[in-house]
Structure 1
C-alpha cells in the first residue's frame, strides 16, 4: 500500500505539485497520468524523498528513507538510462545485488525475466532505449519487491516488448504487489491499468478505477450509418437531438436514445445500416478531464 499525503513542491512562485494526496492499492496496476508539466516526475521523486518538499509518502506504513531493506520493499525505475555506459548489463546488476546482499542466482533470474541473457556481457553504452528499459526493470526486480514505481517503462519498447511488459506487470499485480506506472501511452494504459491517479498543473484530478474515470468524463453517444448522413443529422437536430456528421461519414448523436433515432430515420425515409451505442475511450475521457490543465498546446497547420 502506498499512501501519499499533502505532497507539495514549488519552484519560486510556481507550484509544481500542489497538496497532492492519493492511495495506491496492492493487487492492481495503477496508472499515473497527466499532461507534460503536470508534475508526475516531481511527484514520484517526492514520494521517494529524492526531492525536498512538503507532505509525506508511506510504503506499508514507512517512509522510503526509513525502510530497512528498500530494494526488497520498493523497486524503482525513474530513468532507464541511469547506468554507466561502460558497465555490462550483468556487471550493473551484480553491483546493485552486492549492495543489498542478493545472490548471483537472482541476477541470472532477472536477466532471463527481462530477456537480456543474450546481451548480459555487453556494455550498456551500446544499448537501445528499449534494452535500457529492460535493464532498469531487471534492477528494480532484483529484490523481489512488494511495490514497483515505474516512470514511462514502455518508452522505446517495440510492440512485442510493450505486450510483454503489460503481461508482466499484470501478473505481478495478480500476485498482490503494488504497481504504480506513469505513462503517456493512453491506448496502452487502457489495456494495462485497473485504476488511475490523474493530475493536472500539480493538482489531483482523479483517483478512481478506469471504468469510473471514463464514465465520469465521457458523454453517452450513438453512432449511426446511413447513405444520407447530412440529411439524417439535419432531421435529428430539428427534433431536439444533438447530431453531427463525423469525418468518416458516420453520424454522431449525443445520448442513449437509439430507438428515438431509429424512429425518426424511418419516418424520414432514411435507411440506417448501423446504429450502435458508442463506447467512450480512456483517451476521450483523459482529454476531457485535463482540458484545462495542459500547458503546451500545438496547432494544426491548415
Structure 2
C-alpha cells in the first residue's frame, strides 16, 4: 500500500491540472493547489482543497506552501501550451515554461520535496522520423514550446542526480475530453484544442472549425494525432507518483498516449456523429511548427505502471467533451 504524501499541484485550476486534483482526491491523497488564474479557473478547484493564488516563481510563497502543507511531492502543470504562440512569442514560453520551472524545482529542493512529476509533451520530439515515436527517439523540437519543455526535462535530470529528489516526465500526446462526471473540463476561452473547438462549433459557439493544412503526408492530408482522454492521463500521474515513492532512487520518462492516431477530418467526423450535425470546415494553410503526424509508442508506460486506460475511444472522448461544454454554459450563466 503506497504511503499517501501531501501533493502540491501547480496549475491545478487549469485543464489537465484540475483533472489530476480530482484523481488524487478520489484516491485519497492530500492535495493542495497553486494557480495564478491567468488561464485557470477558481471553480475548477474542488471545495476543501487548499488553494493558493500565486505564481510558481514566487520563492517565498512556495516555501510557505511547502511548509504549511507538508508537501512531499509536486505535480507541475503550470505553463503555456499553445504551439503557434510559442513561435510568435518565444520569450514568453522560455519564461513561463523554463525559467519558472527552474524556480519551482529550486523551491522543491530547498523545501525537501522528494518527488516531482512534470507535465511534458510530445513536442519534444519535433517531427519524428519514425512512428509510433519512442522515448529514446531523437529530441529535436521544431518550436519553442517543445524546446521549453525539453529544457525543463534536462534540468530535472541534472537536479535528480545532484539532490535527493526523483522525477517522472510524462510526455503527453493530444489531451482531450473531460471528467466523465462533468466536474471539470477544458474551460479556456479561445482554446486551440481541436476537440474543444469542434464541440464549441457543434453547439453554435463558433461558426466553423479551421483545418490547418490539407497537404500533409497522411492518408487524408490532414494532421494525425494521438488523442488521449484527460482522465486516463490524470490516472497515469497518480500511478507515476506511486512508482516514484516505491522506488525513490529511480526516475522515469514516459509517453502518454494510446498508440493510435486520428486525422483532423476523422475527429470532425466523430463530432458530427456524436452531435448528429455537420460542422462547417474551413480549410487553411499549415501552422508554423505543426508536424504531419505524432503517435505514441506507449509500451514503456504500460510495462512500468499498472495503467489501464478506461476511455480509449474517440467517440467517448467527444461525448465527455460535449457534456462538459454544455455544463460550462450553465456555469457561465450562473455567473461563475
Q: Which has the larger radius of gyration?
A: 1
Q: Using structure 2 for the length normalisation, give the TM-score.
A: 0.28
